[in-house]
């Protein structure tokens, strides 16, 4: 039985872990940067220790420092949460070699599945469909050969990390080398590795994820799929389960492939297997996200889906200004309540929303018997959810809830860009705001990787953010 856990994270996930530890009679240790000295997660734990300046690379991404604090405080385990170092095989191994318990999948499984190229190789060996592309990192002449073989348009993707970073869409060969250097630079800045590979760009497509649970005895089950296609800059805004378009037959095949991949890798813990699904419901592996620990007492036949759930990522961004970041002090806060409504957050009145970290403020989650009722419940809860002092994605929900295409699930991974441009015409600022939103959407690929005008310089903040999956 664990006695003390160091939580190598911040924000709402750190609070959730600290609460779980308290309920289990386990002491918890929080860590914080100087920017987070007064953050809610610091007070949620039994003790807290400063680990450096606001820049993540000098605090939350410093594995040696985190292990040192764990040893100094007498912690016998490290919980990485999500994002930051949660899917870093080297950090997991460092924790294991320090004699501490890593609350997550084994470092070997992370190494095999956490890297997109390694996951592709494993999937191919198992006969799981993968997107046409390169089998290894590309640079110089090799990127041209790989892109020609896949066929334009193509995606350039960072082999490490996730959260939409280090990704570029290239529509013709003239832009290939320039976009490769941009993708490599962002990948190096965000993940410490400049390795980039090529994949065929599939359009229109849906982003579908399958949750798996695996224990130390080799048992693996899946919990069905999540629809994650409403995105901006390759990052999810709205998720729902089940997907309104996945058929029972496709659901069964998706789940079988996800379970087979996890079993082959000797996976243990909770994880997410991500797929891209085309208009004919053919699916292709994207990657696997590796995080969090679990023990199983159920079999696949015991898992039954019921109703519909929808989650909104409430971020400190203005959706009607190209999702420009918004920072400041929370000047007032009202959280929604009611039946089947949940909010995971580290927000409180007086909290500082910083540009140094991911803009995620909260996750608003609702459930209902049907998708239609879940949409209505989300709209009601979002209207109740009030955050003063910063702009958020909450106003977007009212527009989505009355949009017939959203209601009919007629969307794909790039649909949100055009939708926001149309919705901006109804927002304060009217046509002027809509024109700006449309211009930003049209130039999303070329603008991606540049720091917003109101953000600190690239390399000091948004380039180092983490992103939950």
Cα distances from 378 to residues 12, 168, 362, 408, in angstroms, run: 20, 32, 14, 16
Residue 169 sits in a domain whose CATH number is: 3.30.1490.20
Of 145-154, 346-355, 423-432, give the lowest mean pLDDT range: 423-432
Q: Mean pLDDT for the chain?
A: 89
pLDDT tens sequence across 10-60: 999 999 999 999 999 999 999 999 999 999 999 999 999 999 999 998 999
Mean pLDDT throughout 76-100? Answer: 94
Is the domain of 225 the same as that of 236?
Answer: yes
Is the per-residue pLDDT at 82 higher than 80?
Answer: yes
> How many domains, in total, are found in the chain?
4
- Does residue 363 fall inside a structural domain? yes
pLDDT tens sequence across 185-216: 988 877 778 999 999 999 999 999 999 999 98
- Does residue 33 fall inside a structural domain? yes
pLDDT of res. 140: 83
Is the domain of 99 the same as that of 138?
Answer: no
- Does residue 116 fall inside a structural domain? no
- Does residue 124 fall inside a structural domain? no
Is the domain of 153 the same as that of 242?
Answer: no
**Does residue 416 contact residue 232 with C-beta atoms inside 8 Å?**
yes
pTM for this structure? 0.86
Is the domain of 313 the same as that of 407?
Answer: yes
- Does residue 118 fall inside a structural domain? no
Is the domain of 318 the same as that of 261?
Answer: no
Residue 255 sits in a domain whose CATH number is: 3.30.470.20
Mean pLDDT throughout 337-346? Answer: 96
Instruction: Return the sign of the alpha-carbon dihedral for residues 326, 328, 331, 332.
Output: positive
- Does residue 469 fall inside a structural domain? no
How many Cβ atoms are within 10 Å of 298's Cβ, its own excluded?
11
Is the domain of 98 the same as that of 163?
Answer: no
pLDDT of res. 425: 81
Is the domain of 234 the same as that of 149?
Answer: no
Q: Which residues does 61 contact at the CB level (< 8 Å), separation at least 6?
A: 84, 85, 464
> Looking at 83, 103, 123, which one is the last position of a domain?
103
Is the domain of 333 the same as that of 440?
Answer: yes
Residue 96 sits in a domain whose CATH number is: 3.40.50.20
> Looking at 158, 176, 200, which one is the last position of a domain?
200
16 annotated active-site: no
Is the domain of 164 the same as that of 74?
Answer: no
Is the domain of 312 the same as that of 457?
Answer: yes
Token pair, residue 296, equals 């199983």
Q: Find the catalytic residue in 291, 313, 377, 469.
A: 291
Is the domain of 226 the same as that of 274?
Answer: yes
- Does residue 271 fall inside a structural domain? yes
Confidence of residue 165 (pLDDT cuts 50, 70, 90): confident
- Does residue 17 fall inside a structural domain? yes
User: What is the residue range of 82's domain?
Assistant: 4-103
Beta pairing class for 328-329 and 352-353: antiparallel
Percentage of the chain beyond pLDDT 70 is 90
pLDDT of res. 293: 55
On the CB side of 350, CA atoms within 13 Å amount to 4
Is the domain of 320 the same as that of 457?
Answer: yes
Mean pLDDT throughout 447-454? Answer: 38
> Looking at 184, 200, 216, which one is the last position of a domain?
200
């Amino acid at each position: 039985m664990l006695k003390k856990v160091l939580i190598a994270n911040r924000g709402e996930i750190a609070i959730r872990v600290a609460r779980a530890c308290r309920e289990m009679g386990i002491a918890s240790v929080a860590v914080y940067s100087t920017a987070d000295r007064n953050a809610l997660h610091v007070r949620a734990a039994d003790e807290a220790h400063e680990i450096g300046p606001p820049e993540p690379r000098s605090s939350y991404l410093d594995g040696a420092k985190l292990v040192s604090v764990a040893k100094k405080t007498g912690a016998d385990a490290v919980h990485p949460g999500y994002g930051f170092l949660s899917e870093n095989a080297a950090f997991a191994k460092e924790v294991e070699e320090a004699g501490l318990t890593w609350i997550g999948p084994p470092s070997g499984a992370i190494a095999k599945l956490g890297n997109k190229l390694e996951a592709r190789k494993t999937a191919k060996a198992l006969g799981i469909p993968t997107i046409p592309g390169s089998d290894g990192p590309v640079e110089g002449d090799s990127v041209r050969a790989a892109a020609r073989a896949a066929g334009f348009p193509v995606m350039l993707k960072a082999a490490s990390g996730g959260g939409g970073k280090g990704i570029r869409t290239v529509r013709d060969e003239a832009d290939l080398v320039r976009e490769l250097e941009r993708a490599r630079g962002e990948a190096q800045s965000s993940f410490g590795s400049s390795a980039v590979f090529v994949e065929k760009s599939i359009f229109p497509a849906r982003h579908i994820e399958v949750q798996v649970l695996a224990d130390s005895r080799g048992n693996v089950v899946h919990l069905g799929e999540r629809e994650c296609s409403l995105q901006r800059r390759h990052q999810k805004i709205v998720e729902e389960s089940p997907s309104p378009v996945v058929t029972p037959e496709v659901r069964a095949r998706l789940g079988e492939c996800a379970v087979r991949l996890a079993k082959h890798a000797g996976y243990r813990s909770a994880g997410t297997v991500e797929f891209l699904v085309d208009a004919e419901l053919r699916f292709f592996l994207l990657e696997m996200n590796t995080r969090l620990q679990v023990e199983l007492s159920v079999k696949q036949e015991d898992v039954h889906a019921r109703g519909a759930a929808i989650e909104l990522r409430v971020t400190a961004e203005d959706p009607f200004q190209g999702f420009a970041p918004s920072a400041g002090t929370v000047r007032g806060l009202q959280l929604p309540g009611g039946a089947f409504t949940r909010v995971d957050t580290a927000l409180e009145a007086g909290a500082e929303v910083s540009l140094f970290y991911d803009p995620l403020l909260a996750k608003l989650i609702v459930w209902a018997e049907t998708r239609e009722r879940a949409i209505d419940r989300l709209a009601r809860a979002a209207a109740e959810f009030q955050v003063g002092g910063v702009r958020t994605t909450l106003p977007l929900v009212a527009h989505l809830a009355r949009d017939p295409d959203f209601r009919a699930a007629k969307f794909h991974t790039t649909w949100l860009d055009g939708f926001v441009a149309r919705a901006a015409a109804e927002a304060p600022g009217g046509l002027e705001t809509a024109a700006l939103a449309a211009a930003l959407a049209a130039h999303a690929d070329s603008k991606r990787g540049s720091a917003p005008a109101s953000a600190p310089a690239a390399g000091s903040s948004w380039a180092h953010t983490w992103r939950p999956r």
